[in-house]
Structure 1
Amino acid sequence: MERVLVIGPCGAGKSTLSTTLATKLGLPVYHMDQLNWKPGWVESSKEELHDKLAVIVATERWLIDGTYGGTLAARLSRADTVIYLDYPIALCVTRLLKRIWTYRGRSRPDMTEGCPERLDIGFLIYLIRWNSGPRLRTEARLRGHDAKVIRLRSPLDLQLWLGSI
Protein backbone atom coordinates (compact mmCIF):
# COMPACT_ATOMS: atom_id res chain seq x y z
CA MET A 1 0.00 0.00 0.00
CA GLU A 2 1.74 3.08 -1.32
CA ARG A 3 -1.11 5.19 -2.73
CA VAL A 4 -4.20 4.82 -0.59
CA LEU A 5 -7.67 6.38 -0.64
CA VAL A 6 -10.00 6.26 2.34
CA ILE A 7 -13.59 6.92 1.33
CA GLY A 8 -17.08 6.54 2.74
CA PRO A 9 -19.97 8.59 4.09
CA CYS A 10 -19.48 11.60 6.34
CA GLY A 11 -18.95 10.58 9.95
CA ALA A 12 -17.65 7.11 9.14
CA GLY A 13 -14.23 7.90 10.60
CA LYS A 14 -12.18 8.41 7.45
CA SER A 15 -9.85 11.02 8.94
CA THR A 16 -9.31 9.09 12.15
CA LEU A 17 -8.47 5.94 10.19
CA SER A 18 -6.27 7.91 7.79
CA THR A 19 -4.16 9.35 10.58
CA THR A 20 -3.71 5.91 12.15
CA LEU A 21 -3.03 4.14 8.86
CA ALA A 22 -0.62 6.80 7.57
CA THR A 23 1.45 6.44 10.73
CA LYS A 24 1.39 2.64 10.47
CA LEU A 25 2.44 2.69 6.80
CA GLY A 26 4.73 5.72 6.93
CA LEU A 27 2.69 7.60 4.35
CA PRO A 28 2.03 11.34 4.13
CA VAL A 29 -1.65 11.98 4.78
CA TYR A 30 -3.81 14.54 2.98
CA HIS A 31 -7.35 15.40 4.03
CA MET A 32 -9.67 16.46 1.21
CA ASP A 33 -11.45 18.84 3.58
CA GLN A 34 -8.18 20.71 4.19
CA LEU A 35 -7.40 20.77 0.48
CA ASN A 36 -10.87 22.03 -0.44
CA TRP A 37 -11.75 24.55 2.27
CA LYS A 38 -10.14 27.91 2.93
CA PRO A 39 -10.62 29.84 6.21
CA GLY A 40 -14.16 31.11 6.72
CA TRP A 41 -15.68 28.12 4.91
CA VAL A 42 -14.63 29.46 1.51
CA GLU A 43 -14.55 26.61 -0.98
CA SER A 44 -11.67 26.25 -3.43
CA SER A 45 -12.55 26.45 -7.10
CA LYS A 46 -12.69 23.15 -8.97
CA GLU A 47 -9.51 24.15 -10.80
CA GLU A 48 -7.66 24.95 -7.56
CA LEU A 49 -8.67 21.65 -6.01
CA HIS A 50 -7.74 19.65 -9.11
CA ASP A 51 -4.37 21.43 -9.30
CA LYS A 52 -3.59 20.66 -5.64
CA LEU A 53 -4.55 17.02 -6.13
CA ALA A 54 -2.54 16.66 -9.35
CA VAL A 55 0.65 17.52 -7.48
CA ILE A 56 -0.11 15.03 -4.71
CA VAL A 57 -1.25 12.07 -6.83
CA ALA A 58 1.77 12.44 -9.12
CA THR A 59 4.00 11.42 -6.22
CA GLU A 60 4.72 7.79 -5.38
CA ARG A 61 3.45 7.64 -1.79
CA TRP A 62 0.35 9.18 -0.24
CA LEU A 63 -2.84 8.59 1.68
CA ILE A 64 -5.82 10.80 0.85
CA ASP A 65 -9.06 10.73 2.83
CA GLY A 66 -12.39 12.00 1.62
CA THR A 67 -14.89 10.85 -0.97
CA TYR A 68 -15.34 14.11 -2.96
CA GLY A 69 -16.90 12.45 -6.01
CA GLY A 70 -15.86 15.18 -8.46
CA THR A 71 -12.18 14.37 -7.86
CA LEU A 72 -12.43 10.64 -7.28
CA ALA A 73 -11.53 9.56 -10.83
CA ALA A 74 -8.22 11.44 -10.78
CA ARG A 75 -7.30 9.90 -7.44
CA LEU A 76 -8.48 6.41 -8.41
CA SER A 77 -6.33 6.47 -11.52
CA ARG A 78 -3.21 6.42 -9.31
CA ALA A 79 -4.42 4.63 -6.17
CA ASP A 80 -3.29 1.10 -5.47
CA THR A 81 -5.69 0.63 -2.54
CA VAL A 82 -9.10 2.01 -1.62
CA ILE A 83 -10.39 1.58 1.91
CA TYR A 84 -14.17 1.99 1.73
CA LEU A 85 -15.80 2.55 5.12
CA ASP A 86 -19.24 1.30 4.11
CA TYR A 87 -20.88 1.85 7.48
CA PRO A 88 -24.58 2.08 8.35
CA ILE A 89 -25.83 5.64 7.93
CA ALA A 90 -27.37 5.70 11.41
CA LEU A 91 -23.88 5.16 12.87
CA CYS A 92 -22.44 7.89 10.63
CA VAL A 93 -25.15 10.39 11.64
CA THR A 94 -24.49 9.65 15.32
CA ARG A 95 -20.75 10.12 14.82
CA LEU A 96 -21.25 13.31 12.82
CA LEU A 97 -23.45 14.82 15.55
CA LYS A 98 -20.86 13.81 18.18
CA ARG A 99 -18.13 15.44 16.09
CA ILE A 100 -20.15 18.65 15.76
CA TRP A 101 -20.68 18.76 19.52
CA THR A 102 -17.05 17.91 20.35
CA TYR A 103 -15.53 20.53 18.03
CA ARG A 104 -18.35 23.13 18.12
CA GLY A 105 -16.98 26.60 17.47
CA ARG A 106 -13.47 25.41 16.57
CA SER A 107 -11.79 23.65 13.68
CA ARG A 108 -11.25 19.92 13.97
CA PRO A 109 -7.70 18.59 13.34
CA ASP A 110 -8.43 17.40 9.78
CA MET A 111 -10.07 20.67 8.71
CA THR A 112 -8.59 23.98 7.63
CA GLU A 113 -8.01 26.37 10.50
CA GLY A 114 -10.72 29.05 10.43
CA CYS A 115 -13.50 26.58 9.58
CA PRO A 116 -15.17 26.00 12.93
CA GLU A 117 -17.37 22.95 13.27
CA ARG A 118 -21.07 23.76 13.02
CA LEU A 119 -24.43 22.14 12.43
CA ASP A 120 -25.30 22.36 8.74
CA ILE A 121 -28.77 21.00 8.04
CA GLY A 122 -28.10 20.63 4.30
CA PHE A 123 -25.00 18.56 5.05
CA LEU A 124 -26.96 16.40 7.50
CA ILE A 125 -29.64 15.78 4.85
CA TYR A 126 -26.90 14.88 2.34
CA LEU A 127 -25.63 12.25 4.78
CA ILE A 128 -29.09 10.89 5.54
CA ARG A 129 -29.66 10.48 1.78
CA TRP A 130 -26.21 8.88 1.21
CA ASN A 131 -27.57 5.46 0.22
CA SER A 132 -29.90 6.83 -2.47
CA GLY A 133 -27.44 9.15 -4.22
CA PRO A 134 -23.80 9.62 -3.22
CA ARG A 135 -23.31 5.92 -2.47
CA LEU A 136 -24.60 4.89 -5.91
CA ARG A 137 -22.35 7.43 -7.65
CA THR A 138 -19.33 6.42 -5.55
CA GLU A 139 -19.78 2.74 -6.29
CA ALA A 140 -20.23 3.44 -10.00
CA ARG A 141 -16.93 5.36 -9.97
CA LEU A 142 -15.17 2.45 -8.28
CA ARG A 143 -16.16 0.00 -11.01
CA GLY A 144 -13.51 -0.52 -13.64
CA HIS A 145 -10.55 0.74 -11.62
CA ASP A 146 -7.56 -1.45 -10.89
CA ALA A 147 -7.14 -0.32 -7.30
CA LYS A 148 -7.80 -2.96 -4.68
CA VAL A 149 -11.01 -2.03 -2.84
CA ILE A 150 -11.23 -3.09 0.80
CA ARG A 151 -14.82 -2.67 1.91
CA LEU A 152 -15.31 -2.52 5.66
CA ARG A 153 -18.91 -2.61 6.89
CA SER A 154 -18.45 -1.97 10.61
CA PRO A 155 -15.97 -0.62 13.15
CA LEU A 156 -15.30 -4.25 14.15
CA ASP A 157 -14.41 -5.11 10.53
CA LEU A 158 -12.01 -2.16 10.59
CA GLN A 159 -10.33 -3.26 13.83
CA LEU A 160 -9.90 -6.82 12.52
CA TRP A 161 -8.47 -5.55 9.24
CA LEU A 162 -6.08 -3.11 10.97
CA GLY A 163 -4.87 -5.97 13.16
CA SER A 164 -4.07 -8.01 10.07
CA ILE A 165 -1.70 -5.50 8.47
Structure 2
Amino acid sequence: MQRIMVLGVSSGVGKSSFSRSLADIAAIPVHHLDAYFWKPGWVESSDLEFSEKQQRLVEQDRWIIEGNYTGTYEIRRQKADTIIYLELPLAVCLYRVVKRRIMNHGKTRPDIAAGCPEKLDKDFLKFIISTYSARKIKMRKRLEQFIEESPHNQVIFLRNQKEIERFLKETAVELFSGSPTR
Protein backbone atom coordinates (compact mmCIF):
# COMPACT_ATOMS: atom_id res chain seq x y z
CA MET A 1 0.00 0.00 0.00
CA GLN A 2 2.16 2.78 -1.36
CA ARG A 3 0.03 4.53 -3.99
CA ILE A 4 -3.36 5.23 -2.47
CA MET A 5 -6.41 6.92 -3.97
CA VAL A 6 -8.94 8.25 -1.47
CA LEU A 7 -12.37 8.56 -3.06
CA GLY A 8 -15.77 9.35 -1.62
CA VAL A 9 -19.41 9.24 -2.51
CA SER A 10 -19.79 13.00 -2.07
CA SER A 11 -18.34 16.26 -0.90
CA GLY A 12 -18.46 16.35 2.87
CA VAL A 13 -17.75 12.64 3.26
CA GLY A 14 -14.39 13.38 4.90
CA LYS A 15 -11.84 12.56 2.19
CA SER A 16 -9.48 15.42 3.03
CA SER A 17 -9.47 14.91 6.79
CA PHE A 18 -9.12 11.15 6.39
CA SER A 19 -6.23 11.58 3.95
CA ARG A 20 -4.33 13.94 6.24
CA SER A 21 -4.68 11.49 9.12
CA LEU A 22 -3.61 8.55 6.97
CA ALA A 23 -0.61 10.52 5.66
CA ASP A 24 0.51 11.20 9.24
CA ILE A 25 0.25 7.51 10.14
CA ALA A 26 1.78 6.15 6.94
CA ALA A 27 4.43 8.83 6.43
CA ILE A 28 3.29 9.07 2.81
CA PRO A 29 2.80 12.48 1.18
CA VAL A 30 -0.81 13.49 0.60
CA HIS A 31 -1.98 15.47 -2.41
CA HIS A 32 -5.42 17.09 -2.44
CA LEU A 33 -6.75 17.36 -6.00
CA ASP A 34 -8.74 20.49 -5.15
CA ALA A 35 -5.41 22.25 -4.53
CA TYR A 36 -4.21 21.24 -8.00
CA PHE A 37 -7.47 21.99 -9.83
CA TRP A 38 -8.37 25.38 -8.39
CA LYS A 39 -6.39 28.58 -8.83
CA PRO A 40 -6.83 31.72 -6.71
CA GLY A 41 -10.30 33.21 -7.01
CA TRP A 42 -11.87 29.81 -7.76
CA VAL A 43 -10.48 29.75 -11.31
CA GLU A 44 -10.40 26.25 -12.81
CA SER A 45 -7.25 24.72 -14.29
CA SER A 46 -7.49 23.63 -17.90
CA ASP A 47 -8.03 19.91 -18.51
CA LEU A 48 -4.51 19.61 -19.92
CA GLU A 49 -2.89 21.47 -17.04
CA PHE A 50 -4.78 19.42 -14.44
CA SER A 51 -3.94 16.14 -16.18
CA GLU A 52 -0.25 17.02 -16.48
CA LYS A 53 -0.04 17.85 -12.77
CA GLN A 54 -1.51 14.45 -11.93
CA GLN A 55 0.78 12.65 -14.38
CA ARG A 56 3.75 14.04 -12.43
CA LEU A 57 2.22 13.08 -9.09
CA VAL A 58 1.54 9.46 -9.99
CA GLU A 59 5.11 8.91 -11.17
CA GLN A 60 6.27 9.23 -7.55
CA ASP A 61 6.91 6.00 -5.64
CA ARG A 62 4.58 6.76 -2.74
CA TRP A 63 1.50 8.95 -2.57
CA ILE A 64 -1.96 9.48 -1.26
CA ILE A 65 -4.11 11.37 -3.75
CA GLU A 66 -7.44 12.56 -2.42
CA GLY A 67 -10.35 13.62 -4.59
CA ASN A 68 -12.81 12.21 -7.06
CA TYR A 69 -12.41 14.22 -10.28
CA THR A 70 -13.92 11.67 -12.64
CA GLY A 71 -12.33 13.19 -15.75
CA THR A 72 -8.83 12.30 -14.58
CA TYR A 73 -9.62 9.13 -12.61
CA GLU A 74 -7.79 6.91 -15.11
CA ILE A 75 -4.49 8.74 -14.58
CA ARG A 76 -4.53 7.84 -10.90
CA ARG A 77 -6.11 4.41 -11.28
CA GLN A 78 -3.39 3.16 -13.62
CA LYS A 79 -0.69 3.69 -10.98
CA ALA A 80 -2.62 3.11 -7.75
CA ASP A 81 -2.33 -0.07 -5.71
CA THR A 82 -5.09 0.83 -3.25
CA ILE A 83 -8.41 2.66 -3.27
CA ILE A 84 -9.91 3.73 0.02
CA TYR A 85 -13.54 4.63 -0.50
CA LEU A 86 -15.67 6.55 2.01
CA GLU A 87 -19.44 6.21 1.72
CA LEU A 88 -21.40 7.95 4.45
CA PRO A 89 -25.13 8.79 4.31
CA LEU A 90 -26.22 11.80 2.28
CA ALA A 91 -27.51 13.61 5.38
CA VAL A 92 -24.09 13.33 7.03
CA CYS A 93 -22.36 14.69 3.91
CA LEU A 94 -24.74 17.65 3.68
CA TYR A 95 -24.36 18.42 7.38
CA ARG A 96 -20.58 18.38 7.06
CA VAL A 97 -20.57 20.64 3.99
CA VAL A 98 -22.69 23.22 5.81
CA LYS A 99 -20.61 22.88 8.99
CA ARG A 100 -17.38 23.25 6.99
CA ARG A 101 -18.74 26.45 5.44
CA ILE A 102 -19.60 27.90 8.83
CA MET A 103 -16.33 26.83 10.49
CA ASN A 104 -14.17 28.12 7.62
CA HIS A 105 -16.04 31.32 6.80
CA GLY A 106 -13.64 33.66 5.01
CA LYS A 107 -10.75 31.18 5.29
CA THR A 108 -9.05 28.97 2.76
CA ARG A 109 -8.81 25.33 3.84
CA PRO A 110 -5.38 23.65 3.71
CA ASP A 111 -6.64 21.15 1.12
CA ILE A 112 -7.55 23.76 -1.47
CA ALA A 113 -5.58 26.33 -3.46
CA ALA A 114 -4.60 29.61 -1.83
CA GLY A 115 -7.02 32.41 -2.62
CA CYS A 116 -10.09 30.16 -2.61
CA PRO A 117 -12.00 31.07 0.56
CA GLU A 118 -14.65 28.59 1.69
CA LYS A 119 -17.98 29.07 -0.05
CA LEU A 120 -21.29 27.31 -0.37
CA ASP A 121 -24.15 28.00 -2.72
CA LYS A 122 -27.48 26.51 -3.70
CA ASP A 123 -26.07 24.97 -6.90
CA PHE A 124 -23.39 23.07 -4.97
CA LEU A 125 -25.94 21.67 -2.51
CA LYS A 126 -28.21 20.72 -5.42
CA PHE A 127 -25.26 18.98 -7.10
CA ILE A 128 -24.53 16.92 -3.98
CA ILE A 129 -28.17 15.87 -3.60
CA SER A 130 -28.81 15.15 -7.27
CA THR A 131 -25.66 13.08 -7.88
CA TYR A 132 -25.42 11.13 -4.62
CA SER A 133 -27.35 7.97 -5.62
CA ALA A 134 -25.88 7.69 -9.11
CA ARG A 135 -22.39 8.29 -7.75
CA LYS A 136 -22.79 5.43 -5.26
CA ILE A 137 -23.50 3.05 -8.13
CA LYS A 138 -20.69 4.42 -10.30
CA MET A 139 -18.13 4.29 -7.49
CA ARG A 140 -18.99 0.74 -6.51
CA LYS A 141 -18.54 -0.36 -10.14
CA ARG A 142 -15.14 1.34 -10.19
CA LEU A 143 -14.12 -0.50 -7.04
CA GLU A 144 -15.12 -3.85 -8.57
CA GLN A 145 -13.20 -3.09 -11.77
CA PHE A 146 -10.12 -2.02 -9.82
CA ILE A 147 -10.04 -5.37 -7.97
CA GLU A 148 -10.61 -7.30 -11.20
CA GLU A 149 -7.68 -5.54 -12.92
CA SER A 150 -4.99 -6.98 -10.69
CA PRO A 151 -4.76 -9.43 -7.81
CA HIS A 152 -2.42 -6.92 -6.14
CA ASN A 153 -4.97 -4.11 -6.08
CA GLN A 154 -6.71 -3.50 -2.80
CA VAL A 155 -10.01 -1.76 -1.98
CA ILE A 156 -10.94 -0.58 1.49
CA PHE A 157 -14.61 0.39 1.77
CA LEU A 158 -15.49 2.43 4.87
CA ARG A 159 -19.23 2.95 5.41
CA ASN A 160 -19.53 4.94 8.63
CA GLN A 161 -17.55 7.09 11.04
CA LYS A 162 -16.83 4.17 13.36
CA GLU A 163 -15.25 2.18 10.52
CA ILE A 164 -13.20 5.22 9.51
CA GLU A 165 -11.94 5.77 13.05
CA ARG A 166 -11.21 2.07 13.56
CA PHE A 167 -9.28 1.92 10.31
CA LEU A 168 -7.13 4.92 11.24
CA LYS A 169 -6.57 3.95 14.88
CA GLU A 170 -6.03 0.23 14.38
CA THR A 171 -5.66 -1.06 10.83
CA ALA A 172 -3.56 1.78 9.38
CA VAL A 173 -1.33 1.90 12.45
CA GLU A 174 -0.75 -1.84 12.16
CA LEU A 175 -0.18 -1.73 8.39
CA PHE A 176 2.33 1.09 8.49
CA SER A 177 4.14 0.50 11.77
CA GLY A 178 4.45 -3.26 11.59
CA SER A 179 3.53 -3.46 15.27
CA PRO A 180 0.36 -5.12 16.58
CA THR A 181 -2.61 -2.91 17.38
CA ARG A 182 -3.53 -2.30 20.95
Q: TM-score of the superposition, structure 1-length normalised?
A: 0.94
Structure 1: distance between partners of 2:120 and 2:7: 22
Matching residue's letter, 2:133: S
Question: How many residues are treated as equivalent by the alignment?
Answer: 165
Provide the residue aligned with 2:177 in structure 1.
none
By how many angstroms is 1:140 displaced? 3.1
Alignment of 1:1-165 (within 5 A): 1-8=1-8, 9-145=10-146, 146=150, 147-162=153-168, 163-165=170-172
Give 1:114's aligned amino acid. G
**Residue 135 of structure 1, CA deviation:** 2.8
Cα RMSD of the aligned pairs, angstroms, is 1.3
Which stretches in structure 1 are left out of the alignment for 5+ residues?
none
Query: Is the 1:83–1:149 contact (alpha carbons within 8 Å) kept by the matching residues of 2?
Result: yes
Q: Which secondary structure does the structure 1 equivalent of 2:74 belong to? A: helix
Structure 2 residues without counterparts, runs of 5 or longer: 173-182
Q: Among the aligned pairs, what percent are the same residue?
A: 41
3-state DSSP class of the match of 2:64? strand
1:144, distance to aligned residue in structure 2 (A):
2.0
Contact kept, 8 Å, 1:7 with 1:67, in 2: the verdict is yes
The runs of at least 4 aligned residues of structure 1 exceeding 4 Å deviation read none
TM-score by structure 2 length?
Answer: 0.86
Counterpart Cα distance in 1 of 2:70 and 2:137: 11
